[in-house]
Amino acid sequence: MNDPTESCEPAEAVESLLDAEREPELPFVVGVRLRAGGPVYDFDPGPFTLRRYDRVMVDTDRGPALGTVEVPPLRRRAPRRLQRVVDFADPRDLVREDAGLQRRNELQRNALALIRDRELPIKLVKVDPAAAGDKVTVFYACEERFEHRNLARDLSSALGLRVEMRQIGARDEARQSGGVGVCGRELCCSSWLREFEAVSVKMAKAQDLALNFSKLAGQCGRLKCCLRYEYETYVELRRELPKVGKSVESTKGDGKVVRQSILKQTVTLRRDEDDELVEVSLEELVERRPDA
């Protein structure tokens, strides 16, 4: 008869198999802002110990770029292969950054002067020179479609650079301009929001917000992006409550629902017996069945 211990694997082998099945450790990811008011991008911090507000050089699709650490390294999942932090910025990098900002401001002043001289129906939003210094991208806003080929040619002649014109919408204009929202925080679109998603008045209604457009609109003049952040939660919470106009039974008396309090998860009833308004929770009411 075989010894049963002969078929058992050594403890080291079992531990090795368990280690192989364990999920690999999450990588460190650091958030870096490449320009003032711009979005925060994820990078691989490499071997560097980084803190918030450190100035660093990073690899980008357009070559090395200077940025500021906004989110210190944390272990978390990365949606894609990340480009790396190359090194800490040195004084020469900061001098080049300052010279680039001065150059950008000069180009913007010249472009704005030309647009005003021509009395063109467009709004200059931003002038973004390429790192190589041979090209500049001009972002502008216009209520209607604007034929910009003549302006691009004149700007190219005036600035001595190749010029690319890009017409952008109201939301992209707010993203490029940056600013602070009524909440007191930096605009979502210019700080962390990568893509714009559809926002509708239905989302405001679901959250019982007053349909006052001046309060629902953001800096861009469109509905605030934050209206959709809690929308799904409100939809789920509302689903548990009986609808307004529904007749229900409760421990405080039977009546008809006249108001919902979504976050409190209560409803206000107009009681049948005395026409009084009473607030009841989910635990205190039961929807009246059709055969009741």
Calculate the alpha carbon distances from 203 to 198, 199, 215 in Å.
Answer: 10, 7, 14
Q: Residue 139 has which token pair?
A: 């972002």
pTM, two decimals, is 0.64
Res 252: pLDDT: 87
**pLDDT above 90: percentage of residues in the chain:** 29
Express each pLDDT in 68-91 by its tens digit. 999 999 998 877 789 999 999 999
Note the pLDDT tens digit of each residue in 148-200: 888 899 888 888 888 999 998 888 888 888 888 888 888 888 877 878 888 99
Inter-axis angle of helices 149-159 and 91-117, nearest 10 = 130
* Domains of the chain by residue range: 28-89, 102-172, 197-239, 242-287
> Any idea which architecture 242-287 has in CATH?
Roll (2.30)
The answer to whether residues 292 and 249 touch, using CB atoms and an 8 Å cutoff, is yes
Could you read off the pLDDT of 209-237 as tens digits, one per residue? 888 988 899 988 899 999 999 999 999 88
Question: Is the Cα torsion angle 60, 62, 66, 67 positive or negative in sign?
Answer: negative
**In CATH terms, is domain 102-172 a member of 3.30.300.20?**
yes
DSSP state of 180: B
